[in-house]
Structure 1
């Protein structure tokens, strides 16, 4: 299991979640914290969580992932890339702690992977837990051609140039572009007499 936790100043949400779910030695606990905002209270929470893992498993299989929360796109891209790169499955995320912006970035990053994950949020007073699976709200999947179009359109590009780079007929590329535009992943606009295409901010999350 890849267990993700947005951690603030209190480790209790993470520990309660791990006690509910159980933990195996091959599972990886990943703590997400804001980059360049280390606080003594956060460090203490990390230390106590580390101690709990060592007591429960005899070792602490834990990774700290620092996120540049002020840069929305970079934050989502970093979390998304990390999740995809890890072999541990299933994916579980507890978003009960930390700053709201990090919680939102983490949730969007998980959803954008297209992978199924269980999301859990505990009320601040511990009275209730909201849980759902990402497959319930996942966007449509993109194939390799769609992803290539988004990559090549990070900088504004014309349809003829994109078609040439893709080595595909303009009509085929245009159908793909229209479909991506309807999903809000690519922008179509005119620059003088030339029609230009550019990957939207939402589209950049998938690259």
Structure 2
């Protein structure tokens, strides 16, 4: 049994996969041409976002790039994995949040949302709730009710079911990072002013 860890961004453009039990490097992931800004790993899938305006999907075990996502008009600052339907969410300096899913062996963008008028800094996804943090000092919450999950199969899109639910009050500094337990209605945000805020989402499902 091998435990993987990916924590480094050597030479800015290279991601490294490490076997932390053996203490050795397993793969060097080459492909990005600019800084790697975000990393998300789930099982054997790794997602990276870069200043080269692309996100890449990698196989952890093989160390290969399986797909390049290139629809943003700016650096991709955050990437997230949707655990329920295995979709991908990306956020960029272009202010767009894009939703991606598998389509006949490939990956396509099935939805893009413009909620914020500044760079998307943080994305945090649960099964039915999604939190977005942005450089315009605000956050937004998306919801995808459980009973609606099957209703998009005709259109071939589950990721398209995410809908804006609420935009909480603005903070006094850009929301650089966010972590949430949205199923329990709790959100923690970190701002550029060095202050952590704990929010009660007060969401009635």
- TM-score, L = length of structure 2: 0.25
Q: Between Structure 1 and Structure 2, whose CA radius of gyration is higher?
A: 1
Bigger proportion of residues as strand: 2
- TM-score, L = length of structure 1: 0.25
Bigger proportion of residues as helix: 1
Higher RCO (C-alpha under 8 Å, 6+ residues apart): 1
